[in-house]
Amino acid sequence: MIFNRKTLASSIALAATALVASGAQAQMSNDELRIGYLADMSGTYRDLAGPGGLEALKMAVEDVGGEVNGVPIEVFSADDRNSADVGANTVRGWVDQENVDLVAGMVASSVSIAVSKVLEEAGGLAIISGSAASSITNEHCTPNHIHWVYDTYPLANGTAKAVVEQGGDTWFMLTADYAFGHALEADVTKVVEQNGGEIIGGVRHPFPTSDFSSYILQAQGSGAKIVGLANAGSDTVNAIKTASQFGLVQSGQQLAGLLIFLNDVHAMGLEATQGLLLTTGWYWDMDEQSREWAQRYYDRVGKMPTMVQAGVYSSTMHYLNAVEAAGTDEAQAVRAQMAETPVEDFFARNGRIREDGRMVHDMYLAEVKSPEESTGEWDLYEIKSTIPADEAYRPLAESQCKLVQN
Amino acid sequence: MATTHSLTPAMQRQRSARMRRNMLYLVLLGLALLAPLAIYPVFLMKVLCFALFACAFNLLLGFAGLLSFGHAAFLATGGYFTGIMLSSYPGLTPEAGILIGTLAAVVLGTFFGVLSIRRQGIYFAMVTLALAQMVYFFFIQAPFTGGEDGLHGVPRGELFGLISLSDNLPMYYFVLTVFVIGFAIIQRTVHSPFGQVLKAIRENEPRAVSLGYNVDAYKLVAFVISAGLAGLAGSTKTVVFQLASLTDAHWHMSGEVILMTLLGGVGTLFGPVVGAGLVVSLQTQLAQSPIGNWVSVILGAIFVICVLSFRSGIVGEIQKLVRKNFK
């Protein structure tokens, strides 16, 4: 009897498991979970995301055993060449021909916005890790994408606020003369003035510029304590190099960079960048679990990961967990599951996904070390303070996103 | 046929050549009509848009001998105007939007042309490049282009208010029609007396002047046609991809169209089409392959090989071969 009952129970359990398993499998859109990685693989943002980000994504896939809900995970990639056309086209092809379930990566903001529009129409899902523009989850928000690592709001907000609080209350703004630069300048100005600081001067340079000498001389002549760089990419690099040649930091002024990454600092060297204040979403050496993951990445790639590359791993992991928990790869179900689960891993602290698609998490104010302080090739930042998740990002009350009820 | 006997052998040859050409056009058109069954239509549309752009550029370089290094400006102007029009006036049909974009490119082309056609060679290229850079900076600063984010979410709309273009197949046949019209305009221009004069100017400008032709006027008209067709390509592209971005206005695009034209065969009608097809396929295929990081290097190497070893381009070399062996 007992034997019989046991057999019965176990056979029911077995049948149930089989049913659940087959049910789950039936809800996966095809016999694979297909992830497409789209990023600049050959241009200016190659070191920021590029092949390293793809490697991080593969690490996440390997860490879940290469399969989820009983189906294998397939990863493929493409170079967007920083062109919205190419990016939108590639993703349209992925949707129509490859049954892509998740698009990851993406750096240039124009690419991210173009891709999110394509996916909104086609009903897919994207996690954007590399882009800076805060408009991606503001006026350009869609239910079909999540913005993971950082955006310009905390970069401007975090850096400016912390700098003013540390006594840097007079600013000179060096601004790239186009919409992005203007927006960044406006954000910084607001924060500086709110915190009791003052903008005492500024100059706008054409985009892009290679010779910054006259602008840096103006900045030196202004007598401001802080020179804020409201520009990006090669402009920031050129401005910092010129400032270093003119001895700006040595003469008592300090640079505040608004969009600078680990790879930029590594490339320019500590001699040129020392003392630079910046906000970052993550730093490899910030604690034990970060170091542990970074070391695994370093062993594969030979470089320390940027926050974007770490974010690709973190977001892919969160996505795969959500797919497993939801038992389906249907975009909106997974998106809802992702938003329900708080994000807490080596990358994100106090992280959660808001309804506008913004993943808010703690950000960090860092100062670039001097060559004397640094103990190794990648020992570049000192983390000064933490900006709590709730303060870092644009509050929903100010949002223009159509998904937010105001 | 009784009339055949009254024709001279030369006329007969010309006639059979024309027949062969018409047959070729028909076969190619048939292939183009069937192509979306085998190949992804969005990719084909991209090829067609760039092919039209390269053909427009080739009209100027191949048949008038003017190397414009600023054609991206017309592509982008067409694209942005169409995009802005279609996004801000939802009632506007796509063909009207494309027409407006093309007209904008024609106006800009006239302005560029008047300023630049008095110069030749490198000076002409530099003047057009400088003007195109001014247009680029205008688009980056202007409030209505979305700056470096670009213009997104342009509706494809309904053709003549009747046929929805949201599916790829109807869109493809519409783009094919636009391409055929553009190509026919170029074909007609090249084979008209006007085209003959252009070729004369290309070969020997002082001689054309001494024969009494108003060379500047001819060059200006060729420039405006070329700009208009480039604008048409840009406008169509915006409707297909539903976005207009700075990539189209950047001088890289002006360089890319030179690459397409030279690779396919400058001064041949089909060369730019082949060149555009080749460059776009390479970019698409390579970008998704493991050697994706090398797209620019590979394209550069192909360009070097082309310039060193087959200077008249793919179609140009084939034509030479045919002429040598079959006539």
DSSP per residue, A196-216: T-EEEEEEEE-SS-S--HHHH
- Based on its alpha-carbon atoms, the radius of gyration of chain B, rounded to whole angstroms, reads 20
A44 in B contact zone (CB under 8 Å) = no
Domain residues of chain A, as ranges?
33-150+286-361, 153-280+363-392
Average pLDDT over residues A199-222: 91
Phi, then psi, of B266 in degrees rounded to 5: -70, 140
Average pLDDT over residues B102-122: 93
Q: Report the chain B residue with the minimal C-alpha distance to residue A39.
A: B287
B149–A135: do the CB atoms touch at under 8 Å? yes
Phi, then psi, of A385 in degrees rounded to 5: -160, 165
Query: Tokens in use for A4?
Result: 């019989």
Distances (CA, A) of A234 to A51, A207, A366, B137: 20, 10, 21, 18
A175 in B contact zone (CB under 8 Å) = no
User: What is residue B1's predicted lDDT score, i.e. its pLDDT?
Assistant: 46
How far is the C-alpha of A175 from the C-alpha of A218, rounded, in Å? 13
Query: Tokens in use for A166?
Result: 């540390």
For CA atoms B241, B81, B235, A132, give the dihedral sign.
negative
Whether the CB-CB separation of B278 and B47 falls below 8 Å is answered with no
B161 in A contact zone (CB under 8 Å) = no
A79–B287: do the CB atoms touch at under 8 Å? yes
**For residue range A96-128, what is the model confidence (pLDDT) as tens digits?**
988 999 999 999 888 999 999 999 989 999 999
How far is the C-alpha of B162 from the C-alpha of B168, rounded, in Å? 16
A113–B152: do the CB atoms touch at under 8 Å? yes
Q: Report the chain B residue with the minimal C-alpha distance to residue A134.
A: B149
Chain A with chain B: Cβ pairs closer than 8 A: 99
Instruction: Provide the shortest C-alpha distance from residue B270 to chain A (in Å).
Output: 25
Is a pLDDT exceeding 60 seen at residue A32? yes
Instruction: Provide the shortest C-alpha distance from residue B150 to chain A (in Å).
Output: 6
Residues of B in Cβ contact (< 8 Å) with A135: 149
**For residue range A269-280, what is the model confidence (pLDDT) as tens digits?**
998 898 888 999
How far is the C-alpha of B237 from the C-alpha of B248, rounded, in Å? 10
Query: Tokens in use for A396?
Result: 């929903």
Residues of B in Cβ contact (< 8 Å) with A77: 288, 292
Instruction: Provide the shortest C-alpha distance from residue A20 to chain B (in Å).
Output: 36
Question: Does the predicted interface ipTM exceed a cut of 0.90?
Answer: no
**For residue range B293-326, what is the model confidence (pLDDT) as tens digits?**
777 788 889 889 988 888 888 999 998 888 888 7
User: What is residue A105's predicted lDDT score, i.e. its pLDDT?
Assistant: 94
Is a pLDDT exceeding 60 seen at residue A21? no
Count CA within 13 A, CB hemisphere, residue B292.
Answer: 23
Tell me, yes or no, if the two domains A33-150+286-361 and A153-280+363-392 fold the same way. Answer: yes
**For residue range A129-170, what is the model confidence (pLDDT) as tens digits?**
999 888 899 989 999 999 999 998 888 888 888 889 888 899
Q: Report the chain A residue with the minimal C-alpha distance to residue B297.
A: A42
B243–A177: do the CB atoms touch at under 8 Å? no
Mutate to test the interface with A, among B165, B243, B246, B279 (most CBs of A within 10 A): B243
Place of tokens 């979403």: A281
User: What is residue A22's predicted lDDT score, i.e. its pLDDT?
Assistant: 44
Q: Report the chain B residue with the minimal C-alpha distance to residue A107.
A: B149
pTM for the model stands at 0.86
Is a pLDDT exceeding 70 seen at residue A16? no
B141 in A contact zone (CB under 8 Å) = yes
Identify the residue with better confidence: A204 or A1: A204
Identify the residue with better confidence: A155 or B105: B105
Distances (CA, A) of A215 to A210, A220, A243: 11, 9, 9
Residues of B in Cβ contact (< 8 Å) with A106: none
A303 in B contact zone (CB under 8 Å) = no
Question: Which among B148, B286, B288 has the least Cβ separation from residue A110?
Answer: B148
Query: Tokens in use for A290?
Result: 């970060």
A78–B292: do the CB atoms touch at under 8 Å? yes
User: Which candidate, B31, B27, B33, places its Cα nearest to that of B173?
Assistant: B33
Cis peptide, bond prior to residue A305, ω within 30 of zero: no
Q: Report the chain A residue with the minimal C-alpha distance to residue B296.
A: A42
How far is the C-alpha of A280 from the C-alpha of A391, rounded, in Å? 14
B295–A81: do the CB atoms touch at under 8 Å? yes
B148–A83: do the CB atoms touch at under 8 Å? no
Is a pLDDT exceeding 50 seen at residue B292? yes
User: What is residue B5's predicted lDDT score, i.e. its pLDDT?
Assistant: 59
B168 in A contact zone (CB under 8 Å) = yes
User: Which candidate, B28, B7, B73, places its Cα nearest to that of B184?
Assistant: B28
Categorize the per-residue pLDDT at A9 as very low, low, confident or very high, splitting at 50, 70 and 90: low
Mutate to test the interface with A, among B148, B236, B240 (most CBs of A within 10 A): B148
User: What is residue A102's predicted lDDT score, i.e. its pLDDT?
Assistant: 95
Is a pLDDT exceeding 70 seen at residue A25? no
Q: Report the chain A residue with the minimal C-alpha distance to residue B46.
A: A89
A110–B294: do the CB atoms touch at under 8 Å? no
Record: fold of A153-280+363-392:
Rossmann fold (3.40.50)
Record: fold of A33-150+286-361:
Rossmann fold (3.40.50)
Question: Which among B43, B245, B292 has the least Cβ separation from residue A84?
Answer: B245
Instruction: Provide the shortest C-alpha distance from residue A267 to chain B (in Å).
Output: 20
User: What is residue A1's predicted lDDT score, i.e. its pLDDT?
Assistant: 42
Question: Which among B242, B246, B293 has the least Cβ separation from residue A41?
Answer: B293
Question: Which among A51, A85, A96 has the least Cβ separation from residue B247?
Answer: A85
Average pLDDT over residues B23-47: 91
A152 in B contact zone (CB under 8 Å) = no
Instruction: Provide the shortest C-alpha distance from residue B201 to chain A (in Å).
Output: 37
Instruction: Provide the shortest C-alpha distance from residue A394 to chain B (in Å).
Output: 20
How far is the C-alpha of A126 from the C-alpha of B53, rounded, in Å? 32
Sorted by where each starts, the structural domains of chain B and their CATH numbers stand as 38-325 (1.10.3470)
Which amino acid is present at A84?
Answer: A
Instruction: Provide the shortest C-alpha distance from residue A320 to chain B (in Å).
Output: 23
Q: Report the chain A residue with the minimal C-alpha distance to residue B41.
A: A93
How far is the C-alpha of A278 from the C-alpha of A27, rounded, in Å? 44
A83–B242: do the CB atoms touch at under 8 Å? no
Give the length of chain B: 327
